[in-house]
Structure 1
Amino acid sequence: MDLVALADFNLVARHGGFGKAARATGRPKATLSRRVTELEATLALRLFERGSRNLKLTEEGRALHERTAALLTELDETAATIASGAEKPRGRLRISAPLLLSQTAMGKIAAGFALKYPDVRLEITTEDRPVDMIEEGYDLVIRVNPDPDESLVGRAFLHDRLVVVASPDLSRPAGDLPVPGVVRGAGNRQIWSVTTSQGCSTIKVEPILALSSLIMVRDAVRAGVGVARLPISLVSHDLADGTLKHWGDVEESEIELWALYPSRRLLSARVSAFLDFLKHAFPNGTPDELAAYIGK
């Protein structure tokens, strides 16, 4: 495949027409049109629907654009890096991060990274769903306990665990009596297994509040509404100053945060820089390090 023709196709696709692409880049419109026509002939595919007034990508053209635009950008950046003789991170870096980490720590992380690498245009979006990195154009995703995926590689950079906490004013009931609870998402009566220094036990929980954010859950528990299961990093300051009381650790609740990127892509300088920045921010990957980032 002719990489020059592929680059010209992506140029036209990005600007939405031959004329717009020509005006934006100073390239002759006829040259761009010829390159795209040659690419269509090579692939035996129609990449654009050509109307009298507008140009629209076909389904095949859209798929080709989505899958090759980022790769061509990486090739350009790699060539520029080699030519300059320095591995200086530059260009756009798109990251998808989970809601709780975004709300508690990603603002500080992003600011620190931007100050250290001013030539990188960092974009972070909040997504709890498993995004499609290739289709949606992400360079890096942060996921909680991700399922194995052969198309992604990366590293775990943070570890956390769930604990059951409540206001000091709320006493744990004797016997099998249920206790009011605050949960994330909808839920019926639940039984939570916990471990303490005295051993294992169970807590019957009657959810009276169902909230969509763990920050909301924590704030409700601080107000004395009921018990909740929350990451230790999110409540360690409350436990230390007595705002909340520890009722036990949730069994088998280890949490790992992974930074992942596509295995078939070259690891760009900007992705490497962000991975190194995470390692510097959380050298041991412990809940205490994340709690220090979160603050009160």
Structure 2
Amino acid sequence: MDFNALEDFQLVASHGGFGKASRASGRSKATLSRRVADLEEALGIRLIERGARSLELTEAGQLLRARTEGPMHEVAEAVAAARDGLATPRGRLRIAAPILFSQLALGRIAARFLLSYPEVQIEAVAEDRLVNLVDEHFDVAIRINPSKDSTLVGRCFAKDRLVLAAAPSVQMPKGNRDKPFPVPAVVTPSYRDGDVWSVRNGQFTVEPRPVLHLSSLLMVRDAIAAGAGAAMLPQSIIGSMLEKGELVSWGIAGDEVELWVLHTSRRLQSPKVRAFVEFMCKQYPGGSFTIPIR
């Protein structure tokens, strides 16, 4: 199979037409059309339905694009790395990260990374949704407790814990532990009616009575520090307030929360991705996510 023909098919498919692909690549429409036709001839199947004004991938074309886009991206990066030298990370590194982690840590991390690898240009996007690394052209993603059946690979670089906390002025419930204690609570959009919060290995359970619904964990932190109620928050963002006595811990909830840096494959890993993964793991030598980073 002609690798160039497959590359041109991917180009046409991603841009939705020969004209757009031609303008984006600088190759003529005739060349692109011929190579796609040669690929169809070699495979013995039609990949693209060519209309008067539109282009649609056949079912076979959709399958071929989906199965080859990731590997071809890796091959292209491997070729570039071989040309430039495997030891030198360079080029644009696109990072997707949760909003809270981005606000608290990613700016400092990115700046420190660039001091070590000045030929890399970082573009970081802070969003809480799960981006598609291949379709949206991201190199790495920072994720919290990623799904075990994910097609992505990577490393856990730090851990955090959820703490049920409140201001000292908010009385910690006491009494019968056989049923949840109702408490005023500050909650996020993930809260659902009927949720309960358990701490101390399930020995202590509260029934949140929402008094505030806030979309940002930093807002939740500030609200409970002002005495609005209790909340379940990452230890990383309230640790200093607990030490100063501005907040009181009612207990730690469940298992540790893991922070991972993920990418698409262990094979043909680009120098910039490999360097960033290693760099992330060195930022938290103790394994705990703390603010600020030392």
Q: Give 1:105 shift.
A: 1.6
Following superposition of structure 1 onto structure 2, how do residues 168-179 of structure 1 map, counting pairs within 5 Å?
Answer: 168-176=168-176, 178-179=182-183
Q: Give 1:173 shift.
A: 3.7
Q: Which has the higher helix share?
A: 1
Q: Give 1:159 shift.
A: 0.7
Q: Is the 8 A contact 2:104 2:291 kept in 1?
A: no
Counterpart in the other structure of 1:240? 243
Q: 1 CA distance for matches of 2:145 and 2:129?
A: 12
Q: TM-score, normalised by structure 2?
A: 0.82
SS of the aligned residue for 2:287 comes to coil
Alpha carbons of 1:175 and 1:24: their partners in 2 closer, same or farther (altered >3 Å)?
closer
Q: Is the 8 A contact 1:10 1:69 kept in 2?
A: yes
Q: Give 1:12 shift.
A: 3.4
Q: Give 1:68 shift.
A: 3.4
Counterpart in the other structure of 2:263? 261
**Alignment length (residue pairs):** 289
Q: Give 1:80 shift.
A: 2.9
Counterpart in the other structure of 1:167? 167
Superimposed CA distance per residue, residues 143-185 of structure 1 (whole angstroms, 9 cap, x where no aligned partner): 2222322733321111111112111222224425632111223
Alpha carbons of 1:84 and 1:142: their partners in 2 closer, same or farther (altered >3 Å)?
closer
Following superposition of structure 1 onto structure 2, how do residues 6-21 of structure 1 map, counting pairs within 5 Å?
Answer: 6-21=6-21
Q: Is the 8 A contact 2:160 2:258 kept in 1?
A: yes
SS of the aligned residue for 1:292 comes to coil
Q: Is the 8 A contact 2:46 2:61 kept in 1?
A: yes
Q: 2 CA distance for matches of 1:77 and 1:253?
A: 38
Counterpart in the other structure of 2:200? 195
Stretches of structure 2 lacking an aligned partner (at least 5 in a row)? none
Q: 1 CA distance for matches of 2:91 and 2:157?
A: 24
Identical aligned residues as a percent = 50
Q: Is the 8 A contact 2:153 2:266 kept in 1?
A: no
Q: Is the 8 A contact 1:98 1:127 kept in 2?
A: yes
Q: Give 1:217 shift.
A: 1.6
Q: Is the 8 A contact 2:164 2:232 kept in 1?
A: yes
Counterpart in the other structure of 2:110? 110
Q: Pick which of 133-142 and 96-105 moved more.
A: 133-142
Q: TM-score, normalised by structure 1?
A: 0.81
> What letter corresponds to residue 42 of structure 1 in structure 2?
A
Q: 1 CA distance for matches of 2:28 and 2:207?
A: 72
Q: Is the 8 A contact 2:183 2:208 kept in 1?
A: yes
Counterpart in the other structure of 1:181? 185
Q: 2 CA distance for matches of 1:122 and 1:138?
A: 11
Alpha carbons of 1:200 and 1:150: their partners in 2 closer, same or farther (altered >3 Å)?
closer
Q: Give 1:265 shift.
A: 4.4
Q: Give 1:61 shift.
A: 3.8
**RMSD after superposition:** 3.1
Q: Give 1:131 shift.
A: 4.4
SS of the aligned residue for 1:157 comes to strand
Following superposition of structure 1 onto structure 2, how do residues 69-148 of structure 1 map, counting pairs within 5 Å?
Answer: 69-148=69-148
Q: 1 CA distance for matches of 2:2 and 2:266?
A: 20
SS of the aligned residue for 1:291 comes to coil
Stretches of structure 1 lacking an aligned partner (at least 5 in a row)? none
Q: Pick which of 266-275 and 166-175 moved more.
A: 166-175
Q: Is the 8 A contact 2:166 2:248 kept in 1?
A: yes
Superimposed CA distance per residue, residues 168-216 of structure 1 (whole angstroms, 9 cap, x where no aligned partner): 22222442563211122333465433339xx954444322223333222
> What letter corresponds to residue 8 of structure 2 in structure 1?
D
SS of the aligned residue for 1:205 comes to strand
